[in-house]
Amino acid sequence: MKSTRGLILLVALGSAASASAQDPRISKPHLDAASSVIVNALVDSAKARGLPYTALEDRVNEGIAKGADGPHIVAVVRNLYTEMVIVRTWLGAMASADELKAAASAMQAGVPPVELGKMKQKSLLRSLVTPFTVAADLISRGVPVGTAVNAVKSLVGAGAKDKDINDFQRNVKEDIQQGAPPAAAAEARAKTSGKPEEKGKPDSIDQN
| Long-range contacts at 42-49 (CB < 8 A, ≥ 24 apart) | 42/12, 42/13, 42/77, 42/78, 42/81, 44/15, 44/18, 44/19, 45/11, 45/12, 45/15, 45/81, 46/12, 46/81, 46/84, 49/85, 49/88
Please return the burial class of 200, using the count of CB atoms within 10 Å of its CB with bins 0-12, 13-18 and 19+: exposed
pLDDT for residue 104 is more than 60? yes
Q: How much is the pLDDT for 8?
A: 52
Closest C-alpha to 132, from 110, 142, 141? 110
**Phi/psi zone of residue 180: left (φ > 0), alpha (ψ -120 to 50 degrees), beta?**
beta
The confidence band for 201, taking pLDDT boundaries of 50, 70 and 90, is very low
Q: Using CB atoms within 10 A of its CB, is residue 205 exposed (0-12), middle (13-18) or buried (19+)?
A: middle
pLDDT band at 202 (very low <50, low <70, confident <90, very high): very low
Residue 139 confidence (pLDDT): 97
pTM for the full predicted model: 0.72
Express each pLDDT in 64-102 by its tens digit.
999 899 999 999 999 999 999 999 999 988 888 899 999
Q: The dihedral of CA 84, 89, 91, 94: what is its sign?
A: positive
The size of the chain, in residues, is: 208
The winner for highest mean pLDDT among 22-31, 75-84, 199-208 is 75-84
Q: What is the pLDDT of residues 111-153, one digit of tens each?
A: 999 999 988 887 767 899 999 999 999 999 999 999 999 999 9
pLDDT digits (tens, 9 = 90+) for 150-196: 999 999 988 899 999 999 999 999 999 999 999 999 999 998 875 54
